[in-house]
Structure 1
Amino acid sequence: ERPQKGRYRQFTQVGVEIFGLNSYHGDIEAIQIAENFLSRLGLRNQVSLELNSLGDGASRDNYREKLVAYFTRYKNDLSKDSQRRLEQNPLRILDSKDEGDRKLLKDAPLYGNSLTIEAQPFFDQVLKTLDTLGIQYHHNPHLVRGLDYYCHTAFEYVSTDLGAQGTVLAGGRYDGLVKNLGGPEVSGVGWAAGVDRLALLLDGDFAAPRPVAIIPMGETAEAKSFELANLLRAQNIVAETFYGGNLGKRLKKATKADASTALIIGDDELAQNQAQVRLLDKGTEELVAFDKLAAYIKDITS
């Protein structure tokens, strides 16, 4: 086997699904969440958003007819699998990885030419709203889905740094999925991102942050440590509390855990509403008020 970069036997994903919103607003919300997700990871500038419309059911029927007519002319040039697909589900040819099939797909009918007058305004509204929000995108008329339950907006975030497996995050509207699985008619839109591919893009630019060690000395300080840990984590600061043993042993454990800073809390510190902040790399100490700790730590670690 020759596995491609970013493609493994097991696929791990993270994603978002929105059910019950059948207007274009759901498509925009899904894309906005994806934008924020990739921005928080620092990856938005490494990928481009591509999207297309698959229209409604009538649009798909129109497109299927054109697709069958086109591929029937080249039936003998199709792979065996795609010849079978042509009879059973011609849209699955769009997902073919066969090199010969891919060449034929370059001149295949475009989905956009089959949109009904009801479907086109939906996509127009999506594009108009993305423009209003300042979200950059590329309308890719070749972006399609081979499964029947997909409709209207299909989108992907693509990177040029991952070779053939360039899609990092893919999504779209799938109003027919729930009914396809035996449930009621419920509209849906969402996306999934491959964790392994995200990690590949982060490779070399991502290092786990060093934790802040919280060292409470005494029962009252231990109760306070829960509050402080929660306060720091709410500010995206990694915090780990060290219990048991004397101060020296706990500091050794904190150093072994690669903590950058230790917050030492005893009765004296509690009385002053302060923590003794020790920079473990330098050995220096400073008293900092509890309500200033998060800002102080962010400042010294930035």
Structure 2
Amino acid sequence: MTRIASLVALYLVAAFTALAPRPGAARDPGVLEYGAQCAKEIGAIPAFNCNDGTDIPITVDGKPPAPGTAPKQCDRPSLLSPLSPTEGQCTPYSKILNLTRGNIQISAYCRRNVLRDRTDPHYDEVIVVLHHADNGKTCWFDSQPPPDSGGWNATRVPPPNEATPPRGRPSAVEFWATPAKIAANKPTCIECHDAGPFIFSPYIGQVWDKVPTDPWGKYSNLGAAFASYHLKTMSTPGNTCIGCHRIGSEQSCTVFLRLSAGRKAAPGNDALANRYPLSHWMPTDNTMSEAQWNAANVKSVDDLLACCNDKNHPNPNCTFTPMPPGGTVR
């Protein structure tokens, strides 16, 4: 072999070595590859128009805000970032769509951070949860930041596995963030959705009939970006909180248990949101007085919070159970 050929060979080996994944490293697929995997193992997400969704109401002291205004605090803020005063917690005209067909559960949330007319086609973020109620597999899709402050024209949100969009429409690669980018946002989708794919809050509870639910079903997450999460649920003897759904051990411990039991106030809460009964989310059909609620539930909340604080040295009253995993390809 000539010296030049040897140098070329060494260069090619070095190049391929640099490109090869490190042993044990999680390889992150692009949008189209992840979208194709999710479509195969769960089901396809159709193209949709955010303006076909149902408005999520915003009220202040029980009344809609004045036209053309977006309050900083409200009765039921969105809680997308529950511990920070994120822009848009109380902005009107965000929408929810239920695109479910059979066991293929698809929930789409079209979020407004900027006040616009109710029928304006532009949205600042689009989030889709794709879940199969039979095999338990779940995928997460979040839009890229809009190309400018005008937001995304979401009259046709592209399927994440669509290679070629119609002329003049954004492509899936342009519109959707990669799994790695989604997983890098803290807390991650999975850390918040630690007990199942769909979360109840006072905000989303206003349109709960438009949200698919699977509180006791199998639940696992597709994609290398989410492979490090091994979710567990918590219980204690005679606990009233686990009568309707599971309690996760991630952000449920850090945030949601306290928020839902009147122990913590979100930055977007107004005075009404911080008072009983809005300050206590569960049960969703609550008709109890505050004294009755406390008598029925305070011990259960305290027991779960004690487990949250003792996850590394669990006391005998705390049971941590691995999430029932997903099954085979549908």
Structure number with larger C-alpha Rg: 1
**TM-score bucket (shorter structure):** under 0.3
**TM-score scaled by length of structure 1:** 0.21
From the two aligned structures, give the one with the greater strand fraction: 1
TM-score, normalised by the number of residues in structure 2: 0.20
Q: When you count helix as a share of all residues, which structure comes out higher? A: 1
